[in-house]
């Protein structure tokens, strides 16, 4: 390992530089710039004695290869010196469930944000319930008032900021202070901002989860998840992932690592273009609200400005009250925006959503149909022309 591939040694470098050097050790790979893709299960030992003593840097494909180590180290450098360990998982959802199971045991209680990514809620209500772990959902804007919801057995508080689809901001440092004072751990789905715009472990988070499927990969062609742990949780995370035999295919790790190298320039563009389109949408007469915490008018803006250093390309809008069919006409008329799940690729997306039945601690009643956008890397003027086409179709559907 050279000094650039070690998380601690490279802590003085800026994030854009870390993206280019993290996890790379060319002279351990014959001088080649990128770490090769090791397709590996069995690893041979020179002797019976070496085998029995597990002598050697690697033991078995599932337990780590130069490819997995490169990606882990690259993510670790981005998370900063507070990061003690990174685990790679086959999807973002797998990273969420692994992080929760790594630190929970039967009889524990979880405080889960009401605006969480819906499959996380499903995991809590289904699997965790089955294993004797209870969940209470809380208002994303609760901040330090979350203290009232603690039970003697509350082991985990889970935050996701901004919230899935509805984009409420959370006061993560305030929640971290309460959680730690009560002896609980703070877990965060940090996929929206990622380590470039919010270094979660430095803000009091104990396990920071990213769906690498989004901006790590960046090309809508890979499923990947990562969990970054601080000193309090590193051993539990390593034990869980090792015991469960969780690992990622080598080509997917390579795609994640390759994507990371350009994530800085891509995110800068998603951030700028996303805000431009959000501002344009805010002026449209058909739109009543734009849900984007980097907009000055957003209720979560002050927290976003205090804690985050940027925004990705994902936000939502609420249309004026109108039949669902009119919103569908808008979406169906778009030619550059694809209609599909996930986000974080180079291409723009738009999906309709309604989270009325997916909220239990808060009420979602925006008044009109809601749409989530992902702003990709296309020219913004082409995207706006496409949205104008959509609004023309919407007007026709309403007339």
Binding mask 227-246 for ligand PLP (x = CB under 6 A): --------------------
User: Taking the CA of residue 96 as centre, how many other CA atoms within 13 Å lie in the half-sphere pointing to its CB?
Assistant: 25
Tell me: does residue 196 bind ligand PLP (CB under 6 A).
no
- Using an 8 Å Cβ cutoff, are 198 and 15 in contact? no
117 belongs to the binding site for ligand PLP (CB under 6 A): yes
Q: Indicate which single residue of 4, 65, 97, 213 sits in contact with ligand PLP (rule: CB under 6 A).
A: 213
Nearer to ligand PLP, 10 or 208 (CB): 208
Pick between residue 4 and residue 191 the one whose CB is nearest to ligand PLP.
Answer: 191
| Of the residues 72, 108, 189, 298, which one makes contact with ligand PLP according to CB under 6 A | 189
Cα separation, 355 vs 277, whole angstroms: 23
**Tokens, residue 226:** 């990562």
Q: Minimum CB separation from ligand PLP for residue 189, in Å?
A: 5
> Residue of minimal CB distance from ligand PLP?
92
Residue 1 CB, nearest distance to ligand PLP (Å)? Answer: 28
Among 35, 135, 154, 191, binds ligand PLP (CB under 6 A): 191
By CB under 6 A, residue 256 contacts ligand PLP: no
Decide whether 150 or 343 has the Cβ nearer to ligand PLP.
Answer: 343
Q: Is 29 in the site for ligand PLP (CB under 6 A)?
A: no
In the bound complex, what is the minimum distance in angstroms from residue 201's beta carbon to ligand PLP? 18
Closer Cβ to ligand PLP, 25 or 189, answer by number: 189
Residue with tokens 């069919």: 325
Supply 94's token pair: 């797998």
The reply on whether position 166 binds ligand PLP by CB under 6 A is: no
* Only segment of 72-80, 88-96, 128-136, 144-152 that touches ligand PLP (CB under 6 A): 88-96
Chain centroid, CA 256 distance in Å: 14
| The one segment of 43-51, 59-67, 89-97, 374-382 that binds ligand PLP by CB under 6 A | 89-97
State the minimum distance, in angstroms, from the CB of residue 212 to ligand PLP.
Answer: 7
CA contacts within 13 A on the Cβ side of 328: 3
Q: Are 225 and 89 in contact (CB under 8 A)?
A: yes
Residue 229: beta bridge partners? 85, 207
Span 324-353, contacts to ligand PLP by CB under 6 A: 342
Q: How many residues bind ligand PLP (CB under 6 A)?
A: 12
Give the range of 90-98, 239-247, 249-257, 358-366 binding ligand PLP by CB under 6 A.
90-98
Give the whole-angstrom CA distance, residue 257 versus residue 212.
10
Binding to ligand PLP by residue 91, rule CB under 6 A?
Answer: yes
Q: CA–CA separation, 7 vs 238, rounded Å?
A: 17
Stretch that binds ligand PLP, among 72-80, 85-93, 144-152, 273-281 (CB under 6 A): 85-93
The catalytic residue positions are: 62, 117, 189, 214
Q: Is 220 in the site for ligand PLP (CB under 6 A)?
A: no
Closest to ligand PLP by CB, 45 vs 353, is 353
Q: How far is the CB of 91 from ligand PLP (least distance, A)?
A: 3
Phi, psi of 287 (to 5 degrees): -105, 125
The reply on whether position 211 binds ligand PLP by CB under 6 A is: yes
Residue 16 phi, psi dihedral angles, 5° rounding: -65, -30
Which residues are at the interface with ligand PLP (CB under 6 A)?
A: 91-93, 117, 164, 189, 191, 211, 213, 223, 225, 342
């Amino acid at each position: 390992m050279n000094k650039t591939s070690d998380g601690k040694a490279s802590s003085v470098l800026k994030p854009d530089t870390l993206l280019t050097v993290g996890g790379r050790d060319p002279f351990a790979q014959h001088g080649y710039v990128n770490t090769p893709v090791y397709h590996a299960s069995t690893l041979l030992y020179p002797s019976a004695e070496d085998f029995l003593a597990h002598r050697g840097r690697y033991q078995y494909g599932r337990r780590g290869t130069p490819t997995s180590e490169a990606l882990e180290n690259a993510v670790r450098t981005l998370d900063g010196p507070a990061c003690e360990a990174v685990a790679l998982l086959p999807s973002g959802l797998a990273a969420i469930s692994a992080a929760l199971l790594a630190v929970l045991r039967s009889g524990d209680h979880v405080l889960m944000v009401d605006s969480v990514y819906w499959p996380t809620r499903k995991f809590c209500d289904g699997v965790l319930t089955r294993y004797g772990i209870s969940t209470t959902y809380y208002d994303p804007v609760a901040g330090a008032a979350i203290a009232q919801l603690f039970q003697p057995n509350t082991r985990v508080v889970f935050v996701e900021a901004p919230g899935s689809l509805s984009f409420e901001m959370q006061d993560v440092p305030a929640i971290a202070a309460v959680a730690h004072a009560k002896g609980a751990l703070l877990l965060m789905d940090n996929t929206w901002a990622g380590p470039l715009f919010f270094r979660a472990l430095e803000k009091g988070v104990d396990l920071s989860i990213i769906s690498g499927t989004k901006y790590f990969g960046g090309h809508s062609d890979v499923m990947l998840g990562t969990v970054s742990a601080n000193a309090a949780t590193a051993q539990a995370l390593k034990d869980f992932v090792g015991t469960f035999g969780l690992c990622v295919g080598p080509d997917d790790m390579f795609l994640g690592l390759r994507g990371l190298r350009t994530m800085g320039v891509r995110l800068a563009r998603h951030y700028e273009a996303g805000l431009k389109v959000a501002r344009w949408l805010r002026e449209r007469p058909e739109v009543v609200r734009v849900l984007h915490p980097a907009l000055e008018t957003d209720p979560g803006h002050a927290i976003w400005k205090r804690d985050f250093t940027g925004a990705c390309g994902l936000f939502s809008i609420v249309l004026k009250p109108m039949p669902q069919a009119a919103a569908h006409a808008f979406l169906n008329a778009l030619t550059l925006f694809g209609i599909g799940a996930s986000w974080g690729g180079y291409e723009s997306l738009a999906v309709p959503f309604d989270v009325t039945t997916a909220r239990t601690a808060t009420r979602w009643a925006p008044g009109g149909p809601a749409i989530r956008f992902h702003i990709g890397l296309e020219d913004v003027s082409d995207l706006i022309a496409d949205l104008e086409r959509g609004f023309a179709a919407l007007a026709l559907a309403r007339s």
